[in-house]
């Protein structure tokens, strides 16, 4: 059997709570959760088996990287120069 994922089609990331990558991405973009546990909360559920947590963290990291790539100001704490200055302070 060949599995074909349509480009842009939602993919179930959390089978316990039936959460799609689209729903997770939207929650990350609009609610800015800082942990995978907060993502579940934003979507009105909680972790069950936890197998999806790593994928949720990856989606969070990708969203932050994408936002920074679009126009991260020097004051953004994700910006490498700002992070280095904060670490030195």
Query: Cα separation of 67 and 46, whole Å?
Result: 26
Which of 48, 54, 84, 86 is in the footprint of ligand FES by CB under 6 A? Answer: 48
Task: Please report how close the Cβ of residue 16 comes to ligand FES at its closest, in angstroms.
Answer: 3
Bridge partners of 19, per DSSP, are 14
- Residue with token string 């990708």: 62
| Token pair listed for 2 | 């060949």
Which lies closer to ligand FES via its Cβ, residue 53 or residue 72?
A: 53
**Quick check: 42 binds ligand FES (CB under 6 A)?**
no
Binding site for ligand FES (CB under 6 A): 14-17, 47-52
């Amino acid at each position: 059997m060949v599995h074909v994922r349509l480009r842009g089609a939602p993919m179930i990331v959390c089978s316990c709570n039936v959460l799609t990558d689209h729903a997770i991405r939207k929650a990350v973009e609009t609610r800015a959760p800082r942990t995978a546990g907060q993502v579940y909360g934003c979507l009105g559920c909680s972790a069950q088996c936890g197998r999806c947590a790593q994928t949720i963290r990856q989606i969070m990291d990708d969203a932050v990287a994408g936002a920074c790539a679009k126009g991260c100001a020097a004051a953004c704490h994700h910006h490498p120069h700002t992070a280095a200055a904060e670490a030195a302070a």
